[in-house]
């Protein structure tokens, strides 16, 4: 089958070979012409394209340039916009400041009846300028010394005419024939003479020659009546201490009394040690112990008793005498040390009681705070100052008791020591002169 097909093809080819060649030739020339034509067109097209690309590139370049320029412009505009909005903010806050200044000026200057126009259609610049000028004027007025005639109350409540010297609007002095002194607010813009003496300063201000150190009453305003300050007496202070304060004072009085008694006891016990010793020693030098005993019979007190006991037993064995002296001194020491420790206990207890009083006072103060709140510091400080009084009383009692109690203890110890020494000395003297 395959061979048949090949043969057929071969035959057909041989048959049409000539015809085919002609056709091919024709076709070839045609195609050649077309090729040259096409090549020509291609060249033209290429030329055209290059031209076109160049122009387009140019165009793009131009457009890009324009874009850059425009974006630059946009940036500039944005900057400008930002600047403007900042300026706007500034202006707004300035406006607020000016408004608040005006409100302040109005509230301040209204007190002195100076008008500030705060209506919406007013010329703000003008109003502000006026307010400042008025303010400066007022400041000058208030910071100067001013004399005027007016009325004020005296301390007994009567109203009189007189000269009022105002020191700005924080203090004033009043001068009349009857009274001179610092003025304090009496409520509703009126004055009253303060009850502490400042007449010298009032006169000095009236003459216009203020002194270097002045007594002055400084007030915030004249609307509120100021109460006269009472002179705080010792009695008031002690009353502030309350029950515990009185207890401390009673303990203190008791302590002082005991110290007084103790002093008397010690004076009687120890004042004549030297005298007795000298008398006895003199008699003993002549070896007359019985006479010595006679000579000091008139003396009383602890030392005398101890030495009398020594003299009575002076012939005995040395150890025996020493035992007698020790026993006698022990016996007297209960007398000499009487109240000594009790006074020191009182001195230790008094400050503790004072502390107790302060704590209870503080509790009372804080009770007041829970009731009325912390709005008024005067309430609080008054309570604290009263609470501290007991501590002060405790210390006032403790300090002298401690000082005197300790000194008396030292004295008592001294007396005991000197008694012992006197007894020893007497025994020694006796022994020395007995041998001679």
Partner 1 sequence: MNEILVYWNQFINIMNSGGIIMWVLFALNLLLWYGIGYRYLTLKRGTRGNVRRLIEKHEKRGSEKKYSGLLDYVVADSIQAYKTAQSIGKKPRAFIYDAIFPYIILIGKYSILVKTIVILAPLVGLLGTVAGMIETFDALQSSSMFSQGDSIAGGISKALFTTELGLVVAVPGLIIGKILDKKEEQFILEFEQIVDILSTKDEK
Residues that bind partner 1 (CB under 8 A): 182, 194, 196, 198, 213, 215-218, 226, 229, 232, 318, 322, 351, 377-378, 381-382, 384-385, 388-389, 391-392, 395-396, 398-399, 402-403, 406-407, 409-410, 413-414, 417-418, 421, 424-425, 427-428, 431-432, 435
CB 273 to partner 1: min, Å: 12
For residue 25, what is the DSSP state? H
Provide the b/e sequence for 287-319 (b: ≥16 CB within 10 Å).
eebeebbebbeeeebbbbbbbbbbbebbeeeee
Q: Smaller CB distance to partner 1: residue 198 or 292?
A: 198
Nearer to partner 1, 194 or 339 (CB): 194
Cβ neighbours of 150 (radius 10 Å): 15
Which spans in 111-157 are helix H? 124-142
Min dist CB 295 to partner 1, Å, is 21
Question: Rounded to the nearest whole angstrom, what is the least distance from the CB of residue 369 to partner 1 in the complex?
Answer: 14
Nearest to 387 by CA among 235, 233, 240, 247: 240
**Which contacts qualify for 196-202: CB closer than 8 Å, 24 or more apart?**
196/229, 198/173, 201/173, 202/165, 202/173, 202/174, 202/175
Asked whether 292 and 309 are in contact (CB, 8 A), the reply is no
CA distance 258 to 347: 12
375/377 with CB nearer partner 1 = 377
Instruction: Report in angstroms how near the CB of residue 342 gets to partner 1 at its nearest.
Output: 17
Q: 3-state DSSP: the chain helix, strand, coil percent, rounded to 5?
A: 70, 10, 20
Closer residue to partner 1 in complex, CB, 38/399: 399
Q: What's the min distance (Å) between Cβ of 227 and partner 1?
A: 9
Among residues 163, 185, 184, which one has the least CA distance to residue 174?
A: 163
Question: Least Å distance between CB 193 and partner 1?
Answer: 12
Q: Nearer Cβ to partner 1, position 300 or 434?
A: 434
Structure tokens at 56: 């387009």
Residue 127 or 193: the one with the smaller Cβ distance to partner 1 is: 193
Compute how many other C-beta atoms are within 10 angstroms of the C-beta atom of residue 61.
Answer: 10
Closer residue to partner 1, CB minimum distance, 164 or 402 = 402
Q: How far apart are CB 242 and partner 1 at their closest, in Å?
A: 14
């Amino acid at each position: 089958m395959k061979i048949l097909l090949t043969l057929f093809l071969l035959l057909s080819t041989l048959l049409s070979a000539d015809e085919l060649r002609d056709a091919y030739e024709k076709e070839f020339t045609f195609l050649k012409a077309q090729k040259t034509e096409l090549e020509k067109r291609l060249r033209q097209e290429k030329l055209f394209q290059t031209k076109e690309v160049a122009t387009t590139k140019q165009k793009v370049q131009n457009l890009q340039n324009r874009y850059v320029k425009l974006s630059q412009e946009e940036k500039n505009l944005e900057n400008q916009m930002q600047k403007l909005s900042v300026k706007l903010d500034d202006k707004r806050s300035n406006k607020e400041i000016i408004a608040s200044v005006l409100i302040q000026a109005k509230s301040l200057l209204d007190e002195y009846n100076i008008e500030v126009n705060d209506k919406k259609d007013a010329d703000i610049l003008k109003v502000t300028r006026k307010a400042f000028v008025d303010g400066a004027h007022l400041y000058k007025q208030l910071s100067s010394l001013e004399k005027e005639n007016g009325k004020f109350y005296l301390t007994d409540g009567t109203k009189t005419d007189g000269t009022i010297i105002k020191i700005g609007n924080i203090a004033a002095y009043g001068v009349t024939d009857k009274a001179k002194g610092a003025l304090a607010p009496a409520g509703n813009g009126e004055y009253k003479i303060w009850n502490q003496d400042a007449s010298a300063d009032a006169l000095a201000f009236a003459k216009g020659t203020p002194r270097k150190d002045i007594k002055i009453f400084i007030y915030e305003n004249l609307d509120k009546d100021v109460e006269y300050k009472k002179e705080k007496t010792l009695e008031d202070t002690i009353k502030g201490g309350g029950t515990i304060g009185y207890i401390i004072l009673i303990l203190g009085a008791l302590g002082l009394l005991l110290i007084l008694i103790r002093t008397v006891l010690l004076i009687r016990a120890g004042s004549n040690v030297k005298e007795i010793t000298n008398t006895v020693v003199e008699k003993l030098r002549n070896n007359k112990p019985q006479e010595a005993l006679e000579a000091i019979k008139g003396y009383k007190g602890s030392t005398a008793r101890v030495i009398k006991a020594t003299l009575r037993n002076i012939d005995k064995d040395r150890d025996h005498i020493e035992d007698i002296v020790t026993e006698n001194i022990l016996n007297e020491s209960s007398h000499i040390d009487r109240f000594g420790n009790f006074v020191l206990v009182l001195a230790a207890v008094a400050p503790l009681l004072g502390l107790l009083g302060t704590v209870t006072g503080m509790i009372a103060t804080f009770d007041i705070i829970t009731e009325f709140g912390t709005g008024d510091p005067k309430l609080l400080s008054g309570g604290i100052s009263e609470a501290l009084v007991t501590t002060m009383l405790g210390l006032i009692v403790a300090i002298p008791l401690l000082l005197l109690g300790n000194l008396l203890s030292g004295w008592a110890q001294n007396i005991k020591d000197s008694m012992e020494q006197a007894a020893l000395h007497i025994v020694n003297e006796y022994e020395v002169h007995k041998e001679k």
